[in-house]
Amino acid sequence: MGYRAAAQTAAALEALALSPPEWTEYLALRNARVQKVAGAGPLLQVKSSQKEIQESGSHELVRKSRESTSETELEENLTGMIAATGLPSAFYSWTRVPGQEGFQVDLEARPNHELLLRPELFYQISNGDVNRFTLRLEGAGIPQDAYKSRYLAAMSIGYDPGARFEYYQPFDGSSYFIAPGMLVQRTHMLQLNGPTRLDNTRDRFAGTVYFGIGTWRNTQFRVGATGGFDDYSERITRDNVTARSTLFVNPEIVWTINNQDSGELPTKGTRINGASGWSFREHSYPYLQADGDHFWPVSKSTSVFALGNIGSSFGRKLTFYDQFTTGGLTSLDAYRYQEFHANTLLMSGAGIMYRGLRPETAGIRPFFASWYEAGRLDLGSQGWRTAQSVSLGVFTPTPMGLTGLVVSFNEHGQARFRLSLGSFWNRP
Tell me the C-alpha distance between 94 and 40, whole Å.
Answer: 10
Whether the CB-CB separation of 239 and 315 falls below 8 Å is answered with no
For residue 31, the SS3 value is helix
* Amino acid sitting at position 2: G
pLDDT at 164 over 90: yes
Instruction: Residue 158: name the closest of 196, 185, 118, 126 by CA.
Output: 185
Q: Greater confidence, 248 or 64?
A: 248
Q: Where residue 425 falls among pLDDT bands split at 50, 70, 90?
A: low
Tell me the C-alpha distance between 238 and 219, whole Å.
Answer: 38
Give residues with Cβ within 8 angstroms of 99, minimum separation 6: none
Instruction: Residue 114: name the closest of 150, 165, 80, 82 by CA.
Output: 150
pLDDT at 414 over 60: yes
Mind listing the pLDDT tens digit for each residue in 237-263? Answer: 999 999 999 999 999 999 999 999 887
Count helices and strands in the chain by DSSP H and E runs: 5, 25
Phi, psi angle pair for 195, to nearest 5°: -80, -10
Q: Greater confidence, 205 or 197?
A: 205
Number of Cβ within a 10 Å radius of residue 240: 8
Q: Greater confidence, 372 or 401?
A: 372
Mind listing the pLDDT tens digit for each residue in 276-298? Answer: 999 999 999 999 999 999 999 99
* Domains and their CATH numbers in the chain: 42-107 (3.10.20), 114-422 (2.40.160.50)
Summary mean pLDDT of the chain: 90
- Say what the pLDDT of residue 107 is: 92
Instruction: Residue 232: name the closest of 221, 216, 248, 243 by CA.
Output: 243
Tell me how far the alpha carbon of residue 133 is from its chain's centroid: 22
Measuring CA to CA, how many Å separate 402 from each of 124, 158, 389? 11, 19, 22
pLDDT at 168 over 90: yes
pLDDT at 378 over 90: yes
What's the number of CA atoms in the CB half-sphere (13 Å) around residue 93? 7
Mind listing the pLDDT tens digit for each residue in 315-324? Answer: 999 999 999 9
- Say what the pLDDT of residue 428 is: 44
For residue 260, the SS3 value is coil
pLDDT at 117 over 70: yes
Per-residue DSSP letter, 4: H
Measuring CA to CA, how many Å separate 371 from each of 112, 142, 207, 266, 347? 47, 40, 38, 15, 13
- Say what the pLDDT of residue 37 is: 63
Q: Where residue 213 falls among pLDDT bands split at 50, 70, 90?
A: very high
- Say what the pLDDT of residue 422 is: 77
For Cα atoms 408, 411, 415, give the angle at the middle one, nearest 5 degrees. 30
Percent of the chain with pLDDT over 90: 60
Q: Greater confidence, 98 or 370?
A: 370
Tell me the C-alpha distance between 99 and 117, whole Å.
Answer: 49
Tell me the C-alpha distance between 387 and 340, whole Å.
Answer: 10
* Amino acid sitting at position 242: T
Average pLDDT value for residue range 162-167: 97
Mind listing the pLDDT tens digit for each residue in 327-352? Answer: 988 889 999 999 999 999 999 999 99
Alpha helices in 299-406, H assignment, sequence order = none
